[in-house]
Structure 1
Amino acid sequence: MATEIRFGSSAIQLSDIERYSAEFRANPNNRVRTNAITKSGIHGVATSFDARADMPFTFSIELETGPVTNQKQSGRCWLFAGLNTIRHGMSKRLNLPPFELSQSYAMFWDKFEKANYFLERVLDTLDEPTDSRLVQWLLQAPMQDGGQWDMFVALVEKYGIVPQYAMPETYHSSRSVLMNRLLTQKLRKQAADFRSAYTAGTTISDIRESKRRFMGEFYRLLCYFLGEPPKTFDFEYRDKEKVFHRETNLTPLGFYEKYAEDLSQYVSVINAPTADKPFGKSYTVQYLGNVEGGRQVRYVNVEIETLKSLALAQLSDGEAVWFGCDVGKASDRDDGILDTALFDYESALDTAFDMTKAERLDYAESLMTHAMVFTGANVIEGKVNRWKVENSWGKEPGKDGFFVMSDKWFDEYMYQIVVHRKYLSDDLAAAFDAEPIVLKPWDPMGSLATLR
């Protein structure tokens, strides 16, 4: 017998390990599970045949859309989803064949604005110690690809949009990791210089003048990676009836204002069933944004059935719905299925995974990671059992790039939708417009959609 070595009552004892091993070997089912999982992997054992059969790609409500887009090796899902909602509306109004809006254009201005936003937050916190939680949170990821709906609107309202041909993809728009790493290093160095200058007695106005010079250098670097954004362009297309159209010398902002929906009328609605966020209240997140002085991130928190009814109302009127979710949970990327019944981990592992949605949020098990677009739903007697999802991972995953989501998955891993404010009840509209409760920067509702 192994000699007992004691490290204190809180340590694992060798006698404990001997007991655990004996218990494991006493049950023959444990050996069967070990053989199956080590040979085929947990998904090979836990995948439910019945669940896959219950998730066909058929829907009673289905919007006409073009081919899916592809964010490739970048975390721009929120920009792709936002631009997809705009292009669907434009295609319908202008009778356009499939086309895309420039994701690289939006990416350029997002990074430019994020740099300025980060440096302004550095100036806000000059009196904080460098190792404070707030400063360390700000320094964690000053330059990354992720974002939220209101950040998308802030960009479009300031810089407009352009067709993809006016600013096409580049190597680093589609492969952003190294670009982000280098730009992050520049920003962290600038933060260090600002804090050192402030400690040495430099005035805030002089530091801000240094920031303006730095932003010129940052603009130049972005041009190297992404190309310089167009100031004007010609909008030329042949519609589905083969009629040619041309409008010359359009500005990106003029193009948005003339051809796209007014995004200021669309609002974010969330489902966060945690004790610190009562339903029927509006919320914002401290230091969450990209455009300094732009649109504030704001949500109204509602029960899950209200979230569903709002999404279904907009879909029923023929309009797509931007949404944010935790796409990595209970999902099969290859087959494009999002369903809580898809993987029976509990039977395969003989254990329970029974956290509630609120517990997953409170204990860092789940948050919004990805943004996509609802383009359909399957309704039976007024209830949705499946949702059609337009992703931005290209045509290979799912069915030509589209995913199917079960209604139960919606309950557990859906966090945010965007709808026109006309769908809100009077009470919800008043709640949304009320002064928002300010959440901490690290609150899970401040997470950015950035999954590749």
Structure 2
Amino acid sequence: MTDTNKTGRPAAVPGALDPAWSDDLTARFSDERANRVARNAATSSNLMKAARNVSALRTYHDTFGVSRPRTGEVTNQRHSGRCWMFSALNVARAATMDLLDVDSFEFSQAYGMFYDKLEKFNSGLARIAETAGRPTSDRAVAYVLDEAMGDGGFYPFAMNLIAKWGLVPKDAMPETACSKDSSQMNQQLQRLFHRSAGELRARAAAGATPAELDDARREMVAACHRVLCVCLGEPPLTFDLELPVGKKCRLDRSRLVRQEGAPDADDQGADKADKDVERWLLVDRGLTPRAFCERYVPLDPADCVDLVCMPGEGRPWGTAWHPTLTDSVEGGRPVRWLNVEQGVLEAAAVASLRAGQPCSMSCDVMQDFPRHIEDFPGVLACDTMDYEGLLGVKLGMDRTQMLDLHETSLTHAMTFQGVELGADGSPVAWRIENSWGKEACKDGYLVASADWFRTYGGEVVVRREFVPDDVLALWDEAPTTDVAPWDPVGACLPLQD
């Protein structure tokens, strides 16, 4: 029976809200002009538009002193969680574009998605077999059951796929309805995975040997392969490559065919600009995806250093971390991060861009992002959204606090394509290629202030040559610490989608 006071009302419980207290706040709210203005603005246009600082927004411009002159058509991951793959392939295509002297090129993300799902199904079942003796309530088992078949990943996932399965141009395996919106396919893959996991656990409980479990797993992965062929189409085993290339193409001329109909220098009907241009086609038939990589993708998948900046107690500088339960390719290179100060990370990214090499980055993209503000859709900055002024409350935290309290984490991967440097050589703003299509952001790109990236960014992947020798030595020699996806480090670095 509930205790009551002399009035017959329930007695106050420590920590419980008093309705009279709340009623008093409500009655006095509209007495202040600022409250009325904020309420009217937010209820009419929502928080972001009401909080935008137009004076600050209009100071950011898409002009950069260091920038690649051609970056290719903006890609679009649609309604899928493949940002990490798009970012990695946007980096990889730069080398192919330079080799072929073309303004744009796109690898097939559907091809990558096919083998990513196949590998995840296989590695997920391997973990199910390893943990077969634990209950399904075990945190590791629960994590594998929940996360194994999602779209999310990391840059090394893509590099492992390239090293093992190769690449194909987009027209060799275009997007499908299931790759553009992966939710329905993922639902059935998840169900198939759960059923397979249950069967594998039952066989283990019945005394099946490791070899017998491996045989069973192979049959289960074959079922996943069937589903993927239905949803994404069969991945090409071979394909024909026919592609116009530029006059500065660095391939041997024996691989090129002069394009018929190209005007000769003495063609009276030709434009003078056209007379000076020879048009060539790259023709290579019967290519396998791995042969295509060897010939036309001058990128070493193993030549990458993954730097993160995760300040705070329990996250010391110079530590190398490996997230457990996440590596997607059995036998591939494990995911590994090296924790460095922000200046080290930024210097490596700047060195890469100065050399004409884009680099993958990740951040918490939805923080202070006026995505749906028509006039300023591509600005990421810390001074453009005045939520404190609108709401009349304190919201500020430093980066360490936000990491500790789960306010921010690195959830989205994109590509650095340019940087503006200040007089002291440090970054002022970054040019970022996104993968949401050219209609999103500002023609598909974002402008991030240096302060914003230092607050909500914190990862770049660069080639070894752009990393200082002392940091490279740490990358090569520092012992690796395993971190679970739910511990204080793993929570800061979740699968990116």
Q: TM-score range by the shorter chain?
A: over 0.9
Whether 2:346 is the aligned partner of 1:332: answer no
State the 1:403 CA deviation.
1.2
Q: Which amino acid aligns with 1:60?
A: G
Q: Which amino acid aligns with 1:38?
A: T
Alignment partners' CA distance in 1, 2:493 and 2:194 = 21
State the 1:22 CA deviation.
4.6
Alignment partners' CA distance in 1, 2:45 and 2:10 = 37
Alignment partners' CA distance in 2, 1:73 and 1:25 = 42
Alignment partners' CA distance in 2, 1:20 and 1:445 = 37
Residues 96-149 of structure 1: CA deviation (Å, up to 9, x unaligned): 242211110000000000000111111111122211222112211221111101
List aligned pairs for 1:113-128, cutoff 5 A: 113-128=119-134
Alignment partners' CA distance in 1, 2:73 and 2:444 = 8
List aligned pairs for 1:30-109, cutoff 5 A: 30-63=35-68, 64-109=70-115
Give the structure 2 partner of residue 285 of structure 1: 323
Give the structure 2 partner of residue 401 of structure 1: 444
Which stretches in structure 1 are left out of the alignment for 5+ residues? Answer: none
State the 1:14 CA deviation.
2.5
What's the secondary structure of 1:331's corresponding residue? Answer: coil
Give the structure 2 partner of residue 412 of structure 1: 455
Alignment partners' CA distance in 1, 2:199 and 2:304 = 40
Q: Which amino acid aligns with 1:51?
A: A
Alignment partners' CA distance in 1, 2:131 and 2:493 = 19
State the 1:26 CA deviation.
4.4
Alignment partners' CA distance in 1, 2:31 and 2:56 = 32
Compute the TM-score of the two structures, normalised by the length of structure 2.
0.87
Alignment partners' CA distance in 1, 2:8 and 2:94 = 70
Alignment partners' CA distance in 2, 1:172 and 1:92 = 32
Query: Is 28-37 or 92-101 further displaced after alignment?
Result: 28-37
Alignment partners' CA distance in 1, 2:74 and 2:171 = 17
Give the structure 2 partner of residue 174 of structure 1: 180
State the 1:166 CA deviation.
1.1
Q: Which amino acid aligns with 1:447?
A: P
Give the structure 1 partner of residue 480 of structure 2: 436
Residues 258-277 of structure 1: CA deviation (Å, up to 9, x unaligned): 32211211111101113222
- Kindly indicate whether the alpha-carbon contact (under 8 Å) linking 2:100 and 2:246 is maintained by their aligned counterparts in 1: no
Alignment partners' CA distance in 1, 2:418 and 2:103 = 20
Give the structure 2 partner of residue 11 of structure 1: 16
- Kindly indicate whether the alpha-carbon contact (under 8 Å) linking 1:115 and 1:187 is maintained by their aligned counterparts in 2: yes
Residues 279-327 of structure 1: CA deviation (Å, up to 9, x unaligned): 1121111112110111110111111111111111100111101111111
Q: Which amino acid aligns with 2:409?
A: L
Give the structure 2 partner of residue 155 of structure 1: 161
Q: Which amino acid aligns with 1:333?
A: R
State the 1:216 CA deviation.
1.0
Q: Which amino acid aligns with 1:364?
A: H
List aligned pairs for 1:265-276, cutoff 5 A: 265-276=303-314
Whether 2:292 is the aligned partner of 1:255: answer yes
Alignment partners' CA distance in 2, 1:431 and 1:408 = 27
- Kindly indicate whether the alpha-carbon contact (under 8 Å) linking 1:327 and 1:369 is maintained by their aligned counterparts in 2: yes
Alignment partners' CA distance in 1, 2:485 and 2:201 = 21
Residues 310-369 of structure 1: CA deviation (Å, up to 9, x unaligned): 111100111101111111111122411111112110001011112221222222211111
- Kindly indicate whether the alpha-carbon contact (under 8 Å) linking 1:4 and 1:13 is maintained by their aligned counterparts in 2: no
Q: Which amino acid aligns with 1:438?
A: D
Alignment partners' CA distance in 2, 1:430 and 1:74 = 37
Larger radius of gyration: 2
- Kindly indicate whether the alpha-carbon contact (under 8 Å) linking 2:71 and 2:103 is maintained by their aligned counterparts in 1: no
What's the secondary structure of 2:302's corresponding residue? Answer: helix
List aligned pairs for 1:188-207, cutoff 5 A: 188-207=194-213
Whether 2:352 is the aligned partner of 1:314: answer yes
Which stretches in structure 2 are left out of the alignment for 5+ residues? Answer: 1-6, 248-278
- Kindly indicate whether the alpha-carbon contact (under 8 Å) linking 1:5 and 1:13 is maintained by their aligned counterparts in 2: no
Q: Which amino acid aligns with 1:96?
A: V
Give the structure 1 partner of residue 237 of structure 2: 231
Give the structure 2 partner of residue 449 of structure 1: 496
Give the fraction of aligned pairs with identical amino acids, expressed as a percent. 36
1:390 to 433, 437, 441: 433
- Kindly indicate whether the alpha-carbon contact (under 8 Å) linking 1:320 and 1:374 is maintained by their aligned counterparts in 2: yes
Alignment partners' CA distance in 2, 1:5 and 1:26 = 31
What's the secondary structure of 1:354's corresponding residue? Answer: coil
- Kindly indicate whether the alpha-carbon contact (under 8 Å) linking 1:105 and 1:229 is maintained by their aligned counterparts in 2: yes
Alignment partners' CA distance in 2, 1:88 and 1:332 = 29
Give the structure 2 partner of residue 377 of structure 1: 419
Change in 2 beyond 3 A, CA 1:3/1:353: farther
What's the secondary structure of 1:386's corresponding residue? Answer: strand
Alignment partners' CA distance in 1, 2:364 and 2:8 = 47
Alignment partners' CA distance in 2, 1:135 and 1:13 = 43
What's the secondary structure of 1:117's corresponding residue? Answer: helix
Paired residues, number? 449
Alignment partners' CA distance in 2, 1:333 and 1:28 = 29
Alignment partners' CA distance in 2, 1:398 and 1:17 = 41
Give the structure 1 partner of residue 280 of structure 2: 243
State the 1:398 CA deviation.
2.5
Query: Is 83-92 or 11-20 further displaced after alignment?
Result: 11-20
Give the structure 1 partner of residue 152 of structure 2: 146
- Kindly indicate whether the alpha-carbon contact (under 8 Å) linking 1:162 and 1:255 is maintained by their aligned counterparts in 2: yes
Give the structure 1 partner of residue 264 of structure 2: none
- Kindly indicate whether the alpha-carbon contact (under 8 Å) linking 2:129 and 2:204 is maintained by their aligned counterparts in 1: no
Residues 30-63 of structure 1: CA deviation (Å, up to 9, x unaligned): 2332222112211121101122111111111110
Alignment partners' CA distance in 2, 1:275 and 1:3 = 51
Alignment partners' CA distance in 1, 2:11 and 2:37 = 34
